Amino acid sequence: MTEKNYKIESHPGYTIIKLDTILDYYNCKSFTEEIDSITEQPNHVLIDCEQIVTLPKDWVRAFTQLKVGLKLIDKEMKLIHVNQAVTAVLRAEGVDKIFKVAKNANEALKEFGLGVKRTLNMEFINPFLSATLNVLKIQAGTEAKHGQIYIKKASDHFVGDISGIIGIVSDTFSGSVVISFPEKSFLNIISQMLGEEIKVIDKDVCDGAGEIINIIFGQAKISLNELGYGIKTAIPSVVTGKDHTLSAQTKGPVMVIPFESNMGPFFIEIGLSS
């Protein structure tokens, strides 16, 4: 049996069809058989072309069939992340004026009247809480608990000696996560992780802060994407310096989560921008 190289994900008000690498005849036949079930929902449809290099003619015909089915139920279809090769195929097949294209999902959803706004509620924050406690316990044998979670004010200035920063990237929103440690807390934690006593923060151990936030982010991302957030992989960065402060990485609200642990205190900031 041929493995599917497309994925159909349903969300409130819209369905996104993610195409993967090379599209073949057998997958097209399978997809065509699913068109009726797609139009039964009924949702607007996004076709994500980010991972494909071209669009075969049989797939163009399948999408035309889907578009006709959607029109019958007063719904629309848009292609997103369309590259030049796909654009050329659409033009050659004479459907470039028929198939509507949007830059990304956020733009398409706004045109559908379905602009997605993500908020810093506990549904979003809890995966980071759980991941932080789990990662520190497994990676460094560190027991931690969080304090009261609150919105950061403009007058609040939290200082750390080493911070790991990672961006939250999605088609419909963006944000950032920062984990900051006092020097003593970080040295205690990294010493536990490496199995040897580390006495100073130098270039060789700075990557440890990036690795901690990367693992926390990775675990939280899995949980959030199961809820439909569509968060993408990102690369962490590290900031060091005695008592440094970090300006907000987002235009929206920032939540502060203080932690106490047997290795010392630290804190996490999570911010989102729609």
- Give the tens place of pLDDT for each residue, 35-89: 999 999 889 999 999 999 899 999 999 999 999 999 999 999 999 999 999 999 9
User: What per-residue confidence (pLDDT) applies to 121?
Assistant: 85
Mean pLDDT of the chain: 89
Can you tell me the distance from the alpha carbon of 167 to that of 93, in angstroms, rounded to the nearest whole number?
39
For the chain, what is the largest distance between any 2 Cα atoms, rounded to a whole number of angstroms? 69
Please, which residues have CB within 8 angstroms of residue 154's CB and are 6 or more apart in sequence?
Answer: none
Flag whether pLDDT at 116 surpasses 60: no
User: What per-residue confidence (pLDDT) applies to 41?
Assistant: 86
Flag whether pLDDT at 119 surpasses 80: no
Q: Note every long-range contact of 219-223, with CB atoms under 8 Å and residues 24 or more positions apart, other chains counting.
A: 219/127, 219/130, 219/131, 219/134, 219/135, 220/127, 220/128, 220/130, 220/131, 220/177, 223/127, 223/130, 223/131
Q: Where are the domains of the chain?
A: 6-112, 122-273
Query: Is the domain defined by 6-112 classed in CATH 3.40.50.12780?
Result: no
3-state secondary structure of 180: strand
- Fold identical between 6-112 and 122-273? no
Q: How confident is the model at residue 249 (pLDDT cuts 50, 70, 90)?
A: low
The runs of H, that is alpha helices, within 16-115 are 25-39, 57-72, 84-92, 105-112
- 122-273 belongs to which homologous superfamily? CheC-like (3.40.1550.10)
* Percent of all residues in the chain with a pLDDT value above 90, rounded to a whole number: 61
User: What per-residue confidence (pLDDT) applies to 154?
Assistant: 77
Flag whether pLDDT at 1 surpasses 60: no
Flag whether pLDDT at 165 surpasses 70: yes
Flag whether pLDDT at 117 surpasses 90: no
Q: How confident is the model at residue 227 (pLDDT cuts 50, 70, 90)?
A: confident
Q: What is the C-alpha end-to-end distance of the chain, expressed in Å?
A: 41
Contact 27, 6 (CB under 8 A): yes
Residue bearing tokens 């580390």: 198
Q: How confident is the model at residue 197 (pLDDT cuts 50, 70, 90)?
A: very high
Q: How confident is the model at residue 152 (pLDDT cuts 50, 70, 90)?
A: confident
Flag whether pLDDT at 248 surpasses 80: no
User: What per-residue confidence (pLDDT) applies to 269?
Assistant: 93
Mean pLDDT of 189-208: 89
User: What per-residue confidence (pLDDT) applies to 268?
Assistant: 94
